[in-house]
Amino acid sequence: MVVAHHLNNSRSQRILWLLEELGVPYEIKFYQRDATTNLAPPELKAVHPLGKSPVITDGRHTIAESGAIVDYLIRTYGAGRLAPGADSPEREAYLEWLHYAEGSAMLPLMLQLYTMRLGEAGAPLKDRIDGEIDNHLGYVDQALAGHDYLLDDSFSGADVQMSFVGEVGRAFGRLAKFPNIAAWVERLHARPAFKKALEKGGAYNLA
């Protein structure tokens, strides 16, 4: 059985959601952030050397990194669902979204999070970070123009993987200029599988 090692208020929420979308039986092992540092607890290092979440175990496999987990779960349990086939013209776009989410889109959002904690010491970086956030959110917003989901109107693992970008952007109050992302996040959160995963995973507050 798949075991999802779930850290509160983290990217691992989207892994629970994907498991619900796929209808895969799974077990949740819960981990709580340190109340002072907001970091993951040391117990996660017993699962994976990085001590990060998300991470899943499935038989002999231990897999970290959201994109790798999304890809593995859909290949292993999707039975052709939630990802374009190898010969589909959308296959390359799908793979690009899986890598883009953490490879590029999340970087300026994480930089904002860290520089906010620096106060005035982070001020010299503010304009550059703001520009990069707008650049990436603008790209995603344009991709969603006229579409319900990232791959035209078909919900896929790309939406699951990219959802955290939209959620963090919303938590930072950055979506007023990007209505397509705002509507997309609402659409994702309205999915029954998302709601069920939220019930099982517990409070999910990125603000």
Residue 109 and residue 160 in one domain: yes
Residue 75 and residue 97 in one domain: no
Quick one: pLDDT at residue 153? 80
Which amino acid is present at 134?
D
CA–CA separation, 112 and 135 (whole Å): 14
Domains in the chain: how many in total? 2
Find the domain containing 184 and state its range. Answer: 91-191
Count the neighbouring beta carbons within 10 Å of the beta carbon of residue 207.
8
Quick one: pLDDT at residue 79? 96
CA–CA separation, 74 and 95 (whole Å): 12
Please give the residue that has the higher pLDDT: either 178 or 202. 178
The packing angle between helices 157-171 and 66-77, to 10°, is 150
Whether 157 is in a domain gets the answer yes
Output Rg (C-alpha) for the chain, integer angstroms. Answer: 17
Residue 187 and residue 197 in one domain: no
For residue 175, the Cα-to-chain-centroid distance in whole angstroms is 17
Residue 95 and residue 186 in one domain: yes
Average pLDDT over every residue of 181-186: 98
DSSP assignment of 72-119 equals HHHHHH-TT-SS--TT-TTHHHHHHHHHHIIIIIHHHHHHHHHHHHHG
Average pLDDT over every residue of 200-207: 80
Mean pLDDT of the residues in the chain = 94
Strand order from edge to edge, sheet including 26-31 = 26-31, 2-7, 55-58, 61-64
Quick one: pLDDT at residue 68? 97
CATH code of the domain covering residue 43: 3.40.30.10
pTM: 0.94
CA–CA separation, 94 and 73 (whole Å): 15
Residue 164 and residue 197 in one domain: no
Lowest mean pLDDT across 4-13, 18-27, 67-76, 185-194: 4-13
Whether 207 is in a domain gets the answer no
Average pLDDT over every residue of 15-19: 98
Average pLDDT over every residue of 95-102: 98
Average pLDDT over every residue of 85-103: 96
Residue 64 and residue 113 in one domain: no
Residue 14 and residue 103 in one domain: no
Report how far apart, in Å, the C-alpha atoms of 141 and of each of 17, 93, 187 are.
22, 15, 14
Average pLDDT over every residue of 165-194: 97
Residue 116 and residue 70 in one domain: no
**Confidence grade of residue 207 (pLDDT, cut at 50, 70, 90):** low
Average pLDDT over every residue of 22-45: 93
Quick one: pLDDT at residue 120? 81
Residue 76 and residue 111 in one domain: no
Report how far apart, in Å, the C-alpha atoms of 111 and of each of 74, 117, 134, 180 are.
30, 10, 13, 23
Strand residues in the chain grouped as ranges (E): 2-7, 26-31, 55-58, 61-64
